[in-house]
Every structure is written in C-alpha cells, then in structure tokens.
Amino acid sequence: MPRYLTLSRAARLVGVRRGALQAKIRSGELAAFEGMVSEEDLLRAYPEAHLEDNAFLERLEAIKEAAFARRVRERVLPSAEVLMARLAELEHYCTILEERLAAAAPGGAPLRAPLLAQESLLRIMSAHVQVKPSGHEFFVDGNDSLLEAALRAGLSLDYGCSIGGCGKCKARIVSGQVHRLRHSDYAFTAAEKAAGVVLMCCHTAATDLVIEAREAHGAADMPLQTIDARVKAVSPMGEDMRLLHLQTPRSNRLRFLAGQSVRLSLGEGAAASFPVASCPCDERNLHFHVRRRAGDAFAERVFAGLKDADTVRVEGPRGEFVLDEASARPLVFVAFDTGFAPVKSLIEHAMALDASESLHLYWIAGGEGGHYLDNLCRSWNDALDNFHYVPLKAAGGAAPELRDESVLRPLLRGHARLHDSDVYVAGPAQAVHAAEFALLEHGLPRAQLRLGTPEA
C-alpha cells in the first residue's frame, strides 16, 4: 500500500519549496491525492534528490532569519519529554524501516529506505501541525511553542498577550499530543477541558498534530490596536532615509497582516502614517522606512535623533494591500521608491508561507541611493533559487515622476504570461496608477492586481 506524505513534509524531504511541488502537480508531472503525494511518485519526480543534502533548506532558513530581523540563534533539541513522546510515536515506523532496508536490492528502489530514514529523523526533530478548517500546515522545531512556530511560518492565528493570560490563542487538539512549556493563569471552562482545548502560546507539539484554531483571513479580521512601543534603534539607510525600529511590550504585540500600515505618534504631537516594513512573523519588532521631507515634523524628529527607549504610540493596522494566501500563482512585486516598505513585508511573508513557486521584485527608484536596501534584495536573489530581483531607474530621476509605461518595459517583456501571476504594486499614487493602466492594458486580469498607495 503506498505511503502518502503532506506537501510540506515531502518538500522538506527532497529539499525544494512547497510551491515547486504544487507546480509539478498542476503540470501533471506529480500525482496528488487529497493534497498529499505518495512516496513512490515523489521519488519518480525527483530521481536525483540527495536526501542528506539540506543546503537549500539551510540557505532558506538563514535568509529568513535575516529578513525577520531576528538574531541568529542555535536551534535546540526538543525537551526530553517531547523527544520521548516522539520516539514512542515513531516506534511503528522503525519496524517499517527495517522491512524496507531488508527489501532494498539492486534493481529495486534504492532511495526508498533512505527516504524513510530521513522522514523518521524529521519526525523526531520536528513535529508537523495541520490547522483546521483552513488546511494550513507548519512545523514545530526545537522548543518553540505552537504559536511561535505558526507565526514564523506566516500563519495569521488569533492571539493576544502570548504569555498565557488572555486565552485568545486557544486551539482544540483534534489528534496528537502536546507538551506544556509554561504555566498559564487562564481559566478554562469544563467544556473546553473536556474538548481538549489548550493555549498555543503555552504548549508545544509532542507528536504530529491536527488542531482547530481561529485564523485571520483578511484585513477585516484584524482588530485595531493602540500600543505604546519603545524605540529600539534608528539606523541610516542613506542620506535622507532612516530605518526606525520599534519594539512592542511582550504582553501587547501588534497583530497585523503584511502590507498594512499604522499611524505613529510622538508625545509632542508629531504623527504620520507608515506601512510596516517587517514581517508579521516577528510581531514585536516593527520596522519603518522614514524619508526626510520638508515640513514633515515626524520625520524631522526621527532624523534629529529619537533615543533608545523613547515611546512611540502605534495605532492600527489599516489597509487592504495584503497577500492573497489562497492563490498559488507566481508573485510579481513592483515597488516605486519607498513603496518598497510594504512590498518588503509582503515578500518576507511570502517567504515564510513557502507557497509560491516564484517571486519577482522590480524596484523602481531614482537618484543616488534610491534603492536604499539594494544589498538585502541582492542577498535574497543570491540565496533563493526562486527569487529574482531587477532594480530599475525611474525616468526623470524619481519614481513619482513616472509618466508612461516605459520604465515597466523590462517587466512587461520578461513576463510573456503575466496573466498567470499575481501582481502587487506599491508607491506614490501617480506612479501606481500609471502602472495599473499599463498592466491592465498588457492583459493582466484586474482580480490579480493589488495596489498600495500612501492613501490606501
């Protein structure tokens, strides 16, 4: 009887992105059954797979760590209790492994036993979690909580304090075992206890899990919040550009979707709206790209030198320039000038979801230092096989001065089948609307075009 693997686990085994498997399924190169693939079909589609070579996964994890502005940290083993639970769950797989090793013979399927061995190791080191009713999947590594692992994977689960006090991150365990990581003061009802409800922030996966949990499916599901954050750092990204790094309290983090904006205000009254330039995967650390402009009191305060631990009030999130997570189409991002800020958040979120078969970024800017994070984009391009970066200079020296589609010609020429992609365009209104006209004229369906402007 064939053994079936989820797409997430299969992608980890052969060292490709989940989007690459989905592309093979759509083209007919790989058979699928109810969202899963058989071991035999997987090996037939990837006969040259080197199962012990995790270089691609290591490169991906490294770039994610940098993209999410998290410190590089050593992955730790699960706790002894979690390891024991996973080993017990794995016992019957060991029996199958022995049978496969004994059956392996010249002329047979020599990769089957190594594949099973690799899968067995993955089951010990990380647990696979499927979320109902959405069907989303993620892996829990080391001693991460269910909530931490889900957020890092790009899921928009409901949560609040993250320390076991509010109860918003409740999930029902449909199958599998969990292990408590920390004490919680939240009081469950008798019905919740009987149903197997736990707090995701306080538990990790002892074995593979199926859970029921609430998720945000769009901007309308994201509540408005007011949070007093502290200045972590103000860093130069060029003569007239600063990176403002805010950090929220541990017990009051900002829930937002990639691409959304917030209003920032200082105690003396200076205020302005900015798109969040960081990924929701690290909701405590919020990044904003602040350009110096005449008459902008908030920007002047940032450039004058906000100090570490100064307080900035964050209100939001707002906006519907967000990722369509239901789509598996290739993603094309067009950023004009500081429109790169929300696009950066979307790209990092797409990387975390690991669902799209390809990502293309066209960053259109003018003047010296217009591509103020060019090195970051080039590092993505070098590290990720499915990411492509094209920096473009705007006519007239500045992105807002776009008057026609000429600056978009590299994009239009490079995507003969643009209508098969989802396209996200962000920047000043004049440039965005000119790009909208050019893309629609080129045949892109309007349903696959999303626009982000300062007013959005």
Would you call 161 helix, strand, or coil by DSSP? coil
List 275's β-bridge partners, or say none: 261
The candidate with the shortest Cα–Cα distance to 215, out of 287, 156, 292, 154, is: 156
Residue 106 lies in a domain: no
Residue 421 lies in a domain: yes
71/187: higher pLDDT: 187
Pair (242, 197) in one structural domain: no
In this prediction the pTM is 0.77
* Euclidean distance between CA atoms 46 and 30, whole angstroms: 10
Q: Which of 318, 347, 377 is the last residue of a domain?
A: 318
Helix-then-strand count for the chain, H and E: 13, 20
* Euclidean distance between CA atoms 98 and 107, whole angstroms: 19
Pair (201, 241) in one structural domain: no
Pair (337, 407) in one structural domain: yes
Residue 79 lies in a domain: no
Asked if residue 56 has pLDDT above 90, the reply is no
How do residues 71-113 score in pLDDT, each as one tens digit? Answer: 334 345 566 667 666 666 655 555 555 565 566 555 544 445 5
Asked if residue 162 has pLDDT above 70, the reply is yes
Pair (382, 442) in one structural domain: yes
DSSP states of 47-94: TT--TT--HHHHHHHHHHHHHTTPPP-PPPPPPHHHHHHHHHHHHHHH
Pair (276, 227) in one structural domain: yes
* Euclidean distance between CA atoms 360 and 263, whole angstroms: 29
Pair (249, 151) in one structural domain: no
Residue 171 lies in a domain: yes
Contacts of 359 (CB under 8 A, 6+ apart): 330, 331, 332, 333, 347, 350, 351, 384, 386, 387, 388
- Least confident range of 269-278, 284-293, 362-371: 362-371
CATH of the domain at 232: 2.40.30.10
Q: What percent of the chain has pLDDT over 90?
A: 39
Q: pLDDT-derived band of residue 265, with 50, 70 and 90 as boundaries? A: very high
What pLDDT is attached to residue 254?
A: 92
Q: Is 278 left (phi over 0), alpha (psi -120 to 50) or beta?
A: beta
Pair (336, 297) in one structural domain: no
The candidate with the shortest Cα–Cα distance to 411, out of 423, 403, 426, is: 423
Q: Which residue range is the domain that position 293 belongs to?
A: 220-318
| Tokens standing for residue 79 | 């706790």
Asked if residue 122 has pLDDT above 80, the reply is no
Residue 114 lies in a domain: no
Count of Cβ atoms closer than 10 Å to residue 40 Cβ: 14
Q: Which of 273, 291, 318 is the last residue of a domain?
A: 318
Residue 282 lies in a domain: yes
Residue 73 lies in a domain: no
- Least confident range of 43-47, 62-66, 232-236, 292-296: 62-66
Q: pLDDT-derived band of residue 276, with 50, 70 and 90 as boundaries? A: very high
Please answer whether residues 284 and 311 qualify as being in contact, where contact means their C-beta atoms are separated by less than 8 angstroms. no
Q: pLDDT-derived band of residue 12, with 50, 70 and 90 as boundaries? A: confident
Q: Which of 217, 243, 269 is the last residue of a domain?
A: 217
Q: pLDDT-derived band of residue 65, with 50, 70 and 90 as boundaries? A: low
Pair (55, 136) in one structural domain: no
How do residues 324-345 score in pLDDT, each as one tens digit? Answer: 988 888 999 999 999 999 999 9
Average pLDDT, the chain: 81
Mean local confidence (pLDDT), 35-43: 80
360/8: higher pLDDT: 360
- Highest mean predicted confidence (pLDDT) among 11-15, 205-209, 420-424: 420-424
What pLDDT is attached to residue 15?
A: 72
* Euclidean distance between CA atoms 190 and 192, whole angstroms: 5
Sign of CA dihedral 344, 350, 356, 357: positive
Q: pLDDT-derived band of residue 45, with 50, 70 and 90 as boundaries? A: confident
Query: What per-residue string of b and e applies to 161-180 under the rule 16 or more CB within 10 Å gives b?
Result: bbbbebbbbbbebeebbbbe
Contacts of 376 (CB under 8 A, 6+ apart): 66, 67, 344
Residue 90 lies in a domain: no
Q: pLDDT-derived band of residue 445, with 50, 70 and 90 as boundaries? A: very high
What pLDDT is attached to residue 217?
A: 79
Pair (227, 200) in one structural domain: no
Domains in the chain, number? 4
Sign of CA dihedral 93, 178, 136, 60: negative
Pair (280, 364) in one structural domain: no
Pair (211, 233) in one structural domain: no
How do residues 213-226 score in pLDDT, each as one tens digit? Answer: 988 878 888 989 99
Pair (136, 209) in one structural domain: yes
Which DSSP state fits 215? Answer: B
Please answer whether residues 347 and 259 qualify as being in contact, where contact means their C-beta atoms are separated by less than 8 angstroms. no
What pLDDT is attached to residue 424?
A: 97
Contacts of 46 (CB under 8 A, 6+ apart): 14, 16
Alpha helices, DSSP H, located in 359-428: 374-383, 409-414
Q: pLDDT-derived band of residue 59, with 50, 70 and 90 as boundaries? A: low
Mean local confidence (pLDDT), 251-259: 90
